[in-house]
Amino acid sequence: MAGVGKRAADDFEDLLPVMADKLGGKGLIKELCNGFQLLMDKDKGVITLESLRRNSALLGLQNFREDELVSMVREGDMDGDGALNQMEFCVLMFRLSPELMEESWIWLEQAMQEEFSDDNKRP
């Protein structure tokens, strides 16, 4: 999180745990996917710095400085292509929220238990 401005991190840390509590794990992932859809460049299918600048007000991020937006893209860009795909965006959102990182292990365990119990029910 070193590259992302403290204000940016604080904004997400305040919002995402509340969303997680209200929506549960699957609901939060769905909302993150919706957020990705709002921010992405429709032609490229990824979040570019330009699409983030253009669409950030839709998610209440209009007051972010240019360097904060650049930092967010750099921080989340795991494959080095200069943009965020959906997985990179979701991972970045979780990384910006330490509380959610802890809770995500619980959700993963629950999802795995559900998956394995569903597998055991299949003929």
pLDDT value at position 44? 97
The pTM (predicted TM-score) of the whole model is 0.65
**In one letter, which amino acid is 51?**
S
DSSP-assigned letters across all residues of 8-26: HHHHHHHHHHHHHHHHHHH
Q: Which residues contact 67 (CB under 8 A, 6 or more apart)?
A: 5
Place of tokens 């991020």: 61
Average pLDDT across each block of 10 residues of the chain; the chain has 123 residues. List them in order: 45 59 76 88 96 85 86 94 93 72 62 68 54
pLDDT value at position 2? 43
Question: Which of 117, 69, 112, 109 shows the shortest CA–CA distance to 92?
Answer: 69
pLDDT value at position 104? 57
pLDDT value at position 105? 58
